[in-house]
Structure 1
Amino acid sequence: MDLGLKGLRALVTGGSKGIGLRCAEILAAEGAAVSICARMGADVDAAVAKLKASGATAHGAVVDVSNKHALEAWVAEAAETLGGIDIVIGNVSALAVADDEDAWKAGFETDMMHSVRLVNAAMPWLEKSEAASITLVSSVSGREIDFTGPAYGAFKAAIVHYAQGLAYKLAAQGIRANTVSPGNTYFDGGIWQNIQNNMPELYAEALSLNPTGRMAKPEEIARGVVFLASPASSFTTGTNLVIDGALTKGVQL
């Protein structure tokens, strides 16, 4: 299937590893120009080099997305470098799973406000695009109570609500907004690898909850994200796509 991404310009936060990197790679393979951001300079440089080696137009910057000015500066720089913005993918989380005030503060600034500020900063360019889309990565923790902390699940649910509101508000302008809610996703350098190495009992518990007997691979989530972001999904807006291997038991109506 041709996703219609050739020549489009896409931004991906948290694009140096895991789901974000795979989103950037798939976008690039489909002919889109891509800009990524992440906190670690070496990871950003490596990801951008990999994208360019594949023949893609790629740009990257070191950004702490909880910093409003840094995030807005990256969006503006990326738009100038790529010649505009058609697609934004918000894929950063503080992963604040503790049950304390610091977790609420971190989740608000990184998960929630990063999403809001990304959309707001990109809006002048999205309004000019004929294929504008916003895709925000939420989590199955926003759908049901699980072993993560209350702040994490609350903000992941809020992101879905926020995107649904955007979809309704922006539909007349032809700007789509959707979310993807992944289940547990395993990759090198990711949180679940860290838990496997340092908290094996928790890892075993989490693994046992999924009837598939495994966790997702980042590309399995990224394919769904990119499809929703692409013109191939042109009539899909206001949707939350759950990709969890039947982990969650709630019925999404």
Structure 2
Amino acid sequence: MDLELKGKVAVVSGGTRGIGRAIAECFADEGAHVAICARNQADIDATVAALEAKGVKAWGQSVDISDSPAIDGFVAGAAQALGGIDVLISNASALPRTDDEDAWRSMFEIDMLGALRLFNAAQPYLEKAAVHSGDAAFTIISSMVAAEPYKPSPYSAIKAGLINYAKGVARVHAGKKIRCNVLSPGNVYFKGGVWQTIQQDMPDYFDSMIKANPTGRMGTPEEIASAVVFLSSPRSSFTTGANLVVDGCLTQRASF
């Protein structure tokens, strides 16, 4: 299936590792030009080179997601370097391992305000893209624990807030043909990721989570990326305000 992404421009925050890297590569595989941001410039340079090797244009910049002027500069730089913005992916996350005030503050600053800052900066470019082609997309990466928190957690609470925010964005901007959706992954395993650390440090808990999933495994970044890219593509142009859970049926609720 042609996702109609060839020649379009996708911007991905947190795009150098894990799910974010897989999303950037999946867009490039579909022929889209890709801009990424992250903290480590060496990782950005390596990712940009890998994306360019796929035959598309790529651009990256080191950005602190908590710095609003820096976000504005990154988005403007991406649009200038690649010729606009058709798709925006908010993927960067603080990923705290505690539930103290600092963890709550970092989740709000990076995940919630980070998504808000990215959209505010990219909105003029998305509006221009929508006028030109009839479709533009803003997709936010949340988590299945937004609906099924296992304990009091800033991660769960803020990820839930992002789903609510996305619905509001979708309602307000549908008439402008800017879509906003959420992709909520379940447990995703990759080298250097949270679940590899848990596997090493808490093997019994890791094994219990494998057994809890009806598929008997965790997801891969590539599986999440494929869903994100389809949801963000013109092939999904009537989908907005949705929260797509991709978790191997780990969650037990039925979504209506």
Per the TM alignment, residue 144 of structure 1 is displaced from its structure 2 partner at its CA by 1.0
How far has the Cα of 1:82 moved from its partner?
0.7
Question: For residues 238 and 60 of structure 1, what CA distance do their matches in structure 2 show?
Answer: 29
**Could you say which residue in structure 1 is the equivalent of 2:220?**
217
1:151-191 residue CA offsets vs partner (Å, 9 max, x unmatched): 11111011011111111000111100000000010111111
- Residue 140 of structure 1 corresponds to 144
Count the aligned residue pairs: 252
What is the TM-score normalised by the length of structure 1? 0.97
CA distance in 2, matches of 1:205, 1:113: 34
Deviation string 1:2-32 (CA, Å, 9 cap, x unpaired) is 1010111110001101111111111111111
Q: Kindly provide the CA deviation profile for residues 43-63 of structure 1, in whole angstroms up to 9, marking residues without a partner as x.
A: 111111101111110001111
1: CA distance, partners of 2:199 / 2:73: 36
Sort the Cα spacing of 1:67 and 1:201 in 2 relative to 1 into closer, same or farther, 3 A: farther
Please name the residue that 1:105 is paired with. Answer: 105
What residue ranges of structure 2 are gaps of 5+ in the alignment?
none
Q: Does 1:179 align with 2:197?
A: no
Tell me, which stretches of 5 or more residues in structure 1 are unaligned?
none
Aligned to 1:57: 57
Secondary structure in 2 aligned to 1:128? helix
The 5 Å alignment of 1:48-87 reads 48-87=48-87
What residue in structure 1 maps to residue 235 of structure 2? 232
For 1:168, the equivalent position in structure 2 comes to: 171
Q: Deviations over 1:70-123 (max 9, x none)?
A: 222111110110111110001111112412111110110011010010000000
Specify the SS of the correspondent of 1:178.
Answer: strand
In the alignment, the residues of structure 1 paired with residue 227 and residue 16 of structure 2 have an alpha-carbon distance, to the nearest angstrom, of 18
Alpha-carbon distance between aligned partners in 2 of 1:198 and 1:39, rounded to the nearest angstrom: 26
Secondary structure at the counterpart of residue 45 of structure 1: helix
Q: Work out the percentage of aligned pairs sharing the same amino acid.
A: 53
In structure 2, what residue type is equivalent to 1:113? L
CA distance in 1, matches of 2:41, 2:205: 31
Cα distance in 2 between the residues matched to 1:206 and 1:98: 19
Q: Which amino acid aligns with 2:216?
A: G
Q: Following the alignment from structure 2 to structure 1, what is the Cα–Cα distance between the partners of residues 250 and 228?
A: 18
Distance in 1 of aligned mates of 2:62 and 2:200: 28
Distance (whole Å) between structure 2 residues aligned to residue 190 and residue 121 of structure 1? 29
Query: Using the alignment, how far apart are the partners of 1:123 and 1:160 within structure 2?
Result: 18
215-224 vs 67-76, which moves further = 67-76
Deviations 1:117-159 (A, max 9, x none): 0000000101101321000000001011225x52111110110
Q: Which amino acid aligns with 1:234?
A: S
**Corresponding residue number in structure 2 for 1:21:** 21
CA distance in 1, matches of 2:71, 2:190: 25
Taking the aligned partners of 1:249 and 1:212, their CA distance within structure 2 comes to: 13
Give the conservation status (yes or no) of the 8 Å contact 1:97–1:150. no
Partner of 1:192: 195
- Backbone CA RMSD of aligned residues: 1.1
Secondary structure of 1:34's aligned partner: strand
Q: Does structure 2 conserve the Cα–Cα contact (< 8 Å) formed by 1:6 and 1:30?
A: yes
Q: Aligned runs of 1:3-14 on 2, under 5 Å?
A: 3-14=3-14
| Residue identity in the other structure for 2:99 | D
